[in-house]
Amino acid sequence: MKDLMLDDSGDMIIDDVSGDLNMTDGKDELNQHVYSLLNTFLGELSWNEERGLNQMQLINSSDDLQAVQTTLSDYLREKLNDFDSIEINNSEINDRNLNIKATVKLNDGTSIETAVGGDNDAS
């Protein structure tokens, strides 16, 4: 599958030389797709207010990582046909911002290092 390549702020990337929109596919597209799913707030998109993750539910559950993991797992199971599991590797809350680093596993064995909140530097 192919998709438009996005930068770290979610903007489309335009080739400096050709002026064409950059495309992504394969593992990079999958990483971008999962990151986008986890970092689009419920109600954020005016043309589809029912799309997105309920970030407030995560923040309200931030003291219970099992509840956060269950919320993320349920959401990804609904959005990804081949979703297997998610494991939270690290979490931190600052003021009203919850930052999570996690590993998403798909049924075919693919692992995706991703983030919820913050940037997509899952290392």
Q: Provide the whole-model pTM.
A: 0.83
pLDDT per residue of the chain (123 residues) written in tens, 0 to 9: 788 888 877 788 899 999 999 888 888 889 899 999 999 999 988 998 888 999 888 888 888 999 999 999 999 999 999 999 999 999 988 777 789 999 999 999 999 999 998 655 554
Phi, psi of 56 (to 5 degrees): -65, -35
pLDDT for 4 equals 86
Q: Which residues pair with 6 in a beta bridge?
A: 12
Tell me, yes or no, whether 15 lies in a domain. no
CATH for 41:
3.10.450.40
Six-digit token string for 5: 């390549």
pLDDT for 121 equals 59
Tell me, yes or no, whether 47 lies in a domain. yes
Domain that holds residue 62: 22-116
Tell me, yes or no, whether 1 lies in a domain. no
Tell me, yes or no, whether 4 lies in a domain. no
Number of structural domains (the chain) is 1
Q: Are 115 and 35 in contact, with CB atoms under 8 Å apart?
A: yes
Tell me, yes or no, whether 75 lies in a domain. yes
